[in-house]
Amino acid sequence: METNKTDYHVPVMLNECLDGLNIRPNGVYVDVTFGGGGHSRAIFERLNEEGKLIVFDQDPDARKNAWEAPNFHFIPANFQFLGNHLKMLGITQVDGILADLGVSSHQFDQFERGFSIRGEARLDMRMNPLSEYSAETVVNTMEEFDLVAIFRKYGELSNARKIAQYIVSARSNQKIKTTQQLMDILLPCAPKFKDHKFFAQVFQAIRIEVNQEMQVLEKFLEQTDKVLADHGRLVVMSYHSLEDRLVKNYMKRGSLDGEITKDFFGNVLKPFTEITRHPIVASEQEIELNSRSRSAKLRISERNER
């Protein structure tokens, strides 16, 4: 097994994730965001021949980082289909699930895919290149009130209405096709000396919409309590408050909206117990080596006995 492809994506909080999974050598583990395989390789190295590792990634580029082994399975699919694919492999329950959400360093560095605000590229932002729904589609066809909604909700931008108006006005003259074209159009909306953060939020909002990231995360979380064995671990790393809020609600209260559910006798129904009451963040040393880790929040929970 080749283990030196760290240039694709440096795994964030690697040791914290491994500790969180509480790996048993003969256990069954799932990494739903394979990417460069950094977390996966470290998990696999802790397994014996009886242990199994199943990984998911919808990006064809990620498959190049996979390896051949009888107890390793690469699933070229979105992790919202977690339960179905495990069933197809004959796996009913697993001992641990890892999700490292967001965009990989590799995807950001491939400027032609349009994730980065650096350099000019086609408006794309698709994590699955086979999808027909791209950033160009969003920017050029979405109704103004829908654009306002995504910039407000997914980008947490206070001037969402102004941003949407500038886009709609510009596209009435010519189609918006590139990242630089979009940034030029929106430059008057950017706060002085904070344009980098502003454009990062704009791109984040469009990317989340293109890839339906929040809906995918919701579907994934709602399956975890069914596929995890008793005392199995759920380890999720998020990079913005929208994701973290969903993860926190589900781990803490067993619901996406944070509502507490009780049974007939008034007992609180929740599938998980938090191992970490507060999110784990990267050390200053790691942030210095890998700036992407700065915004990462890691939450760990354990499946309660049924």
For 72-102, what is each residue's pLDDT tens digit? 999 999 999 999 999 999 999 999 999 999 7
Domain boundaries, the chain: 14-105+213-303, 111-211
Tens digit of each residue's pLDDT (9 = 90 or more) over 43-68: 999 999 999 999 999 988 899 999 99
Please list, in sequence order, all residues whose beta carbon lies within 8 angstroms of the beta carbon of residue 170, skipping any fewer than 6 positions away.
Answer: 176, 185
* Cβ 103 vs Cβ 115: under 8 Å: yes
Q: What percent of the chain has a predicted confidence (pLDDT) above 70? A: 93
* Cβ 151 vs Cβ 157: under 8 Å: yes
Tens digit of each residue's pLDDT (9 = 90 or more) over 176-221: 999 999 999 999 999 999 999 999 999 999 999 999 999 999 999 9
Helical H segments across the chain, by residue range: 14-21, 38-44, 60-63, 82-88, 105-109, 135-141, 144-153, 160-171, 179-186, 195-211, 213-227, 241-253, 284-289
Question: Is residue 12 pLDDT above 70, yes or no?
Answer: yes
Q: At what angle do helices 195-211 and 144-153 cross, to 10 degrees?
A: 110
Within this chain, domains 14-105+213-303 and 111-211 share the same CATH topology: no
CATH entry, 111-211, from 3.40.50.10490, 3.40.190.10, 3.30.450.20, 1.10.150.170:
1.10.150.170
Angle (CA) 13 17 20, round 5°: 140
Please list, in sequence order, all residues whose beta carbon lies within 8 angstroms of the beta carbon of residue 22, skipping any fewer than 6 positions away.
Answer: 96, 233
Sign of the alpha-carbon torsion through 118, 119, 124, 130: negative
Fold annotation for 14-105+213-303: Rossmann fold (3.40.50)
Tens digit of each residue's pLDDT (9 = 90 or more) over 249-286: 999 999 999 898 888 888 888 999 999 989 999 999 99
Please report the pLDDT score of residue 40 as a whole number: 98
**Residue 3 — pLDDT band, cuts 50, 70, 90?**
very low
Q: What is the pTM of this model?
A: 0.91
Please list, in sequence order, all residues whose beta carbon lies within 8 angstroms of the beta carbon of residue 18, skipping any fewer than 6 positions away.
Answer: 39, 42, 43, 46
